[in-house]
Amino acid sequence: MFKRRFRNDKDTRLWDRQAANPLARHHLAPSRHSVIFIKCAPLPYTMDYGTLVSDSIGYTKAALAGNWVTWLIFILCSLPIALCKFVVDPKTIFTGTTIHWELIPWPQLIALCLAGLLLSFIVSGYIVRVYRGITPPPRFDAWCSLYLDGIKVAIVGFLWFVPALVIFVVALAFMFFGGHGSASIGPMMGAGFILILIGLIVLVITCLYAVLGSVRFARTGSMREGLRFSAITGTIQVIGWGAYILALVIMIVLVVLFSLIISLFALIPYAGWVIQLVLTPIISVFSARYISRVYDHSVPQAPVPAPVTA
């Protein structure tokens, strides 16, 4: 769209006379005192999903296969949760629909879960560094800052899911009291089901924002920036809602397929759980790198310089 701004009335009258003459319209030209403004829409960034996947695979290979110490730390941090299955035996605890709570070894189970939680912040801190787009892949060092980043990104993720959690709690409360009431059982149960549907919608939206919120926190170092709804909305709009959702769908499909393969290996007697423990870090690093590259599509690219003519 062209817009003209004239410095004097003479230019304006000249333009009006030329525009009113159909035979002279093809001779229209700005005078020497006129200024032409050209308004162009920004060029969208295209997302090559094949490149995203191949880059994430190569990055994961370099991070784990290229550095066995990093892979070993991932395994050790996941070990306490993996050992929980050996502490709790479902065959002795469950008898039909009855749960024998007294047979659960609570001290050992709580100790393993607590250790797994504390060690998970180390893994989360490493994932934060992957979110930052560090190349070559980072190593486990600067342990204090790494551990603090792991705690912060966990808090950011938790805060994103608080609204959906509150909705589900209120929905369950409605259904519980409605099921134990008499006259108001219908409205209470109906309100509970409606709230569950609303909670599911909020949960899906939360997932879309929480993923990029974690990357935004990693890039800015600010937990507040990781929770800025308007800023993350702008990021998604630059990427494109369709392109962003499709990228997440592709990642979810790949992760589910690889998880199924790991589950099949886990069925191997005695050694299955070890194979599962060894292969699971691949999913974590791959997903983090993939999301980081998706986020990069919201960063403006440097313009290509115009050729210099002699």
SS3 content of the chain, % helix, strand, coil (to 5): 75, 5, 25
Mean pLDDT within 266-287:
95
pLDDT band at 174 (very low <50, low <70, confident <90, very high): confident
Structure tokens at 108: 């050992």
| pLDDT greater than 60 at residue 309 | no
Average pLDDT taken over every residue of the chain: 84
- Burial letters 233-247, b for 16+ CB under 10 A, else e: eebbebbbeebbeeb
The three-state secondary structure class of 35 is strand
In which element (H, E) is residue 78 found? helix 68-87
- What is the phi/psi pair of residue 98, to 5°? -95, 135
pLDDT band at 12 (very low <50, low <70, confident <90, very high): very low
- The DSSP secondary structure of 220-281, one letter per residue, reads H--HHHHT-HHHHHHHHHHH-HHHHHHHHHHHHHHHHHHHHHHHHHHTSTTTHHHHHHHHHH
Beta strands per DSSP E along the chain: 2-5, 35-38, 94-95, 98-99
| pLDDT greater than 50 at residue 35 | no
Instruction: Find out whether 179 and 189 touch, Cβ atoms under 8 Å.
Output: yes
| pLDDT greater than 60 at residue 13 | no
| pLDDT greater than 80 at residue 45 | no
- Name every residue whose Cβ is closer than 8 Å to that of residue 302 and which is 6 or more positions away in sequence: none
pLDDT band at 230 (very low <50, low <70, confident <90, very high): very high
Q: What is the structure's pLDDT at 183?
A: 54
Q: What is the structure's pLDDT at 97?
A: 78
pTM tops 0.75, yes or no = yes
Q: What is the structure's pLDDT at 95?
A: 81
Q: Which residue has the higher pLDDT, 292 or 298?
A: 292
Instruction: Find out whether 175 and 189 touch, Cβ atoms under 8 Å.
Output: yes
